[in-house]
Amino acid sequence: MTKKSYTIKTSDSDLIAQSLAGHKAALENLIKKHQDWIYNVALSFVGDKDEAADLTQEVLIKIVTKLDSFKQKSLFRTWVYRIVKNHFLNMKRGKYEINSPTLEEFGQGLDQLPNESLSDYSFEVENKLLVKEAKISCMKGMLLCLDREQRMIYIIGELFEFTDTIGSEIMEISKENFRVKLHRAKKNLYNFMDNKCGLIKKSNPCRCAKKTAGFIKMGFVDPVHLHFQKNTITTINTVIDKKLETYNEEVITEYKQLFQEHPFLQSPDKLKSIKNLLSSKTIKETFNLE
C-alpha cells in the first residue's frame, strides 16, 4: 500500500475514505483533527481535566469503532458530536457532578466563602494567575449547576456557537426546541451572574480576587498545578466558526464573552489507549491498516 501524507487541512471525507481503505496515518490524523475539540467540550462539561481526558478517550474509541457506520448524511463533526452528546448524557456522574448544587446553592456557597487577600499568603505562582484560575474554576462550577441537557446545549450553542441547524441535529430535537432550550439555559446562567458576579456588574460584591484563597483551601484551585492554563493553544473565541445563521439575542452577551475567553487547551498526550486501539488486532482487521 502506497504511503500517503495528510495535514490538518485534509478534508474529513478524504481522511475517512483513506482510513477505511486501511491507511493508519489517515485514521491518526482524523483523530488528531477532532480530539482537541472533544477534549474542550468535555472539560466544560465536567470541569475536571482528568475526567475530560478519560471522556475524550472513551468518545474517540467509539468514533473509531463506529467509523464504518458513518453514512455521510450529515457533516462528520455533527455525527461526532452526536456521539459526544449520547456518551456525556448517559455516562456515570463525575466527581463534581455527584454533589453538584443548584445555582441558588452555588451562590450561597460563594456568600459563605470568606473574603481574603492573597497578599496574606505566599505562593510560587503569581497571584494574578491564581485569580484567573479561580475565575475559570468558578465559571466551570456554574456550568455544572445546569442539568446535563442544558449544559450540553449551552456548550455547543453558546460557547462554541454551533448553529441551531447543527445543534438541533446533534441534540436530535427541532431547531425551535433547540433555540428555546438554549435561551432557557442562558437565561438561568446569566441571570444568576447578573445578580451575583462582579465581573461585569460592578455593584455585585463577589470578587474573584477575594475568593481565590478560599478556592485554594477547598481544593478547587491548585496553586502548584494550574488546571486551566497549562497547554493553552488559544482561547475559545478564536477557534469557533462564525455563525451562518442568526436569531434574536435576548440575553446579555457580555457573560457569553467571559466564557468564550476561557483557554482552548490541547488534549493530553496521555491518550495512549487510542494508540493501543489502533494497534489492536480488532481494529487492524476492521480497517485492514497498513
Structural domain boundaries, residue 124: 100-225+232-264
User: Which pLDDT does position 24 carry in this prediction?
Assistant: 85
176, 116: one domain: yes
CA 191: distance to chain centroid?
22
Q: Contact 63/28 with Cβ under 8 angstroms?
A: no
Per DSSP, the three-state class of 101 is coil
> How many other C-beta atoms lie within 10 A of the C-beta of residue 69?
7
Q: How far is the C-alpha of 18 from the C-alpha of 22, rounded, in Å?
A: 6
Beta bridge partners of 187: none
Q: Write the pLDDT tens digit of every residue in 146-193.
A: 999 999 999 999 999 999 999 999 999 999 999 999 999 999 999 999
Q: How far is the C-alpha of 106 from the C-alpha of 96, rounded, in Å?
A: 13
Q: Contact 85/171 with Cβ under 8 angstroms?
A: yes
30, 111: one domain: no
204, 193: one domain: yes
Residue 22's pLDDT band (boundaries 50, 70, 90)?
confident
68, 31: one domain: yes
255, 183: one domain: yes
- The amino acid present at 180, given as its one-letter code, is V
Straight-line distance from the first to the last Cα atom of the chain, in angstroms, rounded to the nearest whole number = 7
275, 245: one domain: no
132, 180: one domain: yes
User: Which pLDDT does position 5 carry in this prediction?
Assistant: 64
1, 50: one domain: yes
28, 113: one domain: no
Instruction: Report the domain count for the chain.
Output: 2
> How many other C-beta atoms lie within 10 A of the C-beta of residue 1?
10
54, 67: one domain: yes
186, 258: one domain: yes
Q: How far is the C-alpha of 68 from the C-alpha of 30, rounded, in Å?
A: 13
Q: Which of 133-142, 191-200, 222-231 has the lowest mean pLDDT?
A: 222-231
Per DSSP, the three-state class of 52 is helix
Q: How far is the C-alpha of 155 from the C-alpha of 149, rounded, in Å?
A: 10
Output the nine-digit C-alpha cell for 97: 457532578
69, 106: one domain: no
Please state the φ and ψ torsions of residue 243, each to the nearest 5 degrees: -65, 140
- The amino acid present at 100, given as its one-letter code, is S
The CATH number of residue 280's host domain is 1.10.1740.10
Where do runs of H (alpha helix) occur along 207-262?
208-217, 236-239, 254-260
